[in-house]
Amino acid sequence: MPRYRLTLEYDGTGFVGWQHQGDGRSVQEALERAVERFSGERVRVHGAGRTDSGVHALGQCCHLDLARTVRPKVLREALNAHLRPAPAVVTHAAEAAPGFDARRDATMRVYLYRIVNRKAPPALARKRAWHLPRPLDTGAMADAARRLEGTHDFTTFRAAQCQAASPVRTLQSLAVRRCGEEIVIRAWARSFLHHQVRAMVGTLAEVGEGRRTPADVGAALAACDRSRSGPTAPAYGLYLEAVLYPPAC
């Protein structure tokens, strides 16, 4: 039974998230319906990560098995035709190595968060970036971000409903960059806790506004206390940018 690896791009605004939910439309459900319409098979699509309601993706990865072999280009085009009008597309399809698992084989996940930092609210980036009208000090934000890099107990930046067995994670990089009126925060790690990136972004925003110092962020991390985090940034500013795998995959 051939296995395929897909890369997806989607606007999370109209979805309840990646994973099947009791109510509302999920990306997983939309893709599985597209597969069924194309192949006549009911299959389970396995994603590399669970994006929350409203979170977007530029490079979500997943795998699925089909009963018959299909050329990857044909699979991509057929799924895109059957996904319409859902705001999701398959950007790449390939035959996967035997035993490939989109979630377990991932070596790195990259998330980016967009902030529009100007007085006027965004029109084109509405529901796609967080609007913060007060001037933000990106130098202080970058200093604070560096204090979160490395292997730590991230309880302070973990959602109460997080189901991970351990709060310890290794944050390879947390970079803050300004490009004109937009600030992009990019986080690299093998895995993240529920709401970790959004909680870190909310805390960094308070540093940018002068409500916290970079040292305060280090102290909050060490406290392992969720009440020491800043606000959880809105879901609509977050994007799963990429999922990385070993070359053999």
User: Buried b vs exposed e over 113-137: b needs ≥16 C-beta within 10 Å?
Assistant: bbbbbeeeebeebeebbbbbeeebe
Please state, in angstroms and rounded to a whole number, the distance separating the CA atoms of residues 200 and 154: 10
Phi-psi region at 150: left, alpha or beta (left = phi > 0; alpha = psi -120 to 50)? left
Q: Identify whether 23 is a catalytic site residue.
A: no
Closest residue by Cα to residue 138 from 210, 200, 235, 233: 210
* Phi, psi dihedrals of residue 159, rounded to the nearest 5°: -65, 150
**Is the alpha carbon torsion for 173, 114, 22, 34 positive or negative?**
negative
DSSP string covering 164-202, please? -S--EEEEEEEEEEEETTEEEEEEEES---TTHHHHHHH
Active-site option among 52, 65, 153, 216: 52
No. of helices (H) and no. of strands (E), the chain:
5, 10
- To the nearest 10 degrees (0 to 180), the angle between helices 214-223 and 196-208 is 150
Catalytic residues: 52
